[in-house]
């Protein structure tokens, strides 16, 4: 799952760099197929533009929403890494894949926010009057990963760690119980002599 997360982060960062160097900002859509298009936009909010104008004021200090979301993405990524490292053996393949995708999405957009101050979005889906917010590979990873987590919680559980039972030596035979006291032969009288009675 860590390899999957690393590969998806590389794909996310490469695609954003290519878009930023190739297409003009806020230019016309380049149509692909089935309503999908490519356009170069910048997003200072969370996924799909949510919380774009978020700001946090602590006393006289004003923390920009982009920096705050970047730090939040970093904390989420660290938390996921620790959780996955501790629980990987108990997770199913579906759950590990889901966590790897969520980690990739949080890391990819977190890198943009802390490095650039914004997130590069470029995938645009528009059909008729339906206009979906522009997104990127990292956003897709988060959504797909969350969906897989929901499926995993509904249709599967955590896998049990495989344990091997090693056969030991055979148990000792049961001890023979002593016979009851009345079954022992009668002992001679004290002194070892027997007395005979005559008629």
> What integer pLDDT is reported at residue 165 of this predicted model?
61
Give me the catalytic one of 12, 53, 139, 199: 139
> What integer pLDDT is reported at residue 121 of this predicted model?
92
> What integer pLDDT is reported at residue 102 of this predicted model?
93
Query: Against a cut of 0.95, is the pTM above it?
Result: no
> What integer pLDDT is reported at residue 168 of this predicted model?
66
Residue with tokens 């390899």: 3
Asked if residues 121 and 136 have their Cβ atoms less than 8 Å apart, the reply is yes
Which tokens is 32 given? Answer: 């692909």
DSSP 90: G
Edge-to-edge order in the sheet of strand 130-131: 30-31, 36-43, 119-127, 130-131
> What integer pLDDT is reported at residue 185 of this predicted model?
61
Which tokens is 64 given? Answer: 């920009």
> What integer pLDDT is reported at residue 45 of this predicted model?
62
**Active-site annotation holds for 139:** yes
Positions in the chain whose pLDDT score sits under 50? none
**Active-site annotation holds for 29:** no
> What integer pLDDT is reported at residue 192 of this predicted model?
56
Buried b (16+ CB within 10 A) or exposed e, 41-60: bebbbbbbeeeeebeeeeee
């Amino acid at each position: 799952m860590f390899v999957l997360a690393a590969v998806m982060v590389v794909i996310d960062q490469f695609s954003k760099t290519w878009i930023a160097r190739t297409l003009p900002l806020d230019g016309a859509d380049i149509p692909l197929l089935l309503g999908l298009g490519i356009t170069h936009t910048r997003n200072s909010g969370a996924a799909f533009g949510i919380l774009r104008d978020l700001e946090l004021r602590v006393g006289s200090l004003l923390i920009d929403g982009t920096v705050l979301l970047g730090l939040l993405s970093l904390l989420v990524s660290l938390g996921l890494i620790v959780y996955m490292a501790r629980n990987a053996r108990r997770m199913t393949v579906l759950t590990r894949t889901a966590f790897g995708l969520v980690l990739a999405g949080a890391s990819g957009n977190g890198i943009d926010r802390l490095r650039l101050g914004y997130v590069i979005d470029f995938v645009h889906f528009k059909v008729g009057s339906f206009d979906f917010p522009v997104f990127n590979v990292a956003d897709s990873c988060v959504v797909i990963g969350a969906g897989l987590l929901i499926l995993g919680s509904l249709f599967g559980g955590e896998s049990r760690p495989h344990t091997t039972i090693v056969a030991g030596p055979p148990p000792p035979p049961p001890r023979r119980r002593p016979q009851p006291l009345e079954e022992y032969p009668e002992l001679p009288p004290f002194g070892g002599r027997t007395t005979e009675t005559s008629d």
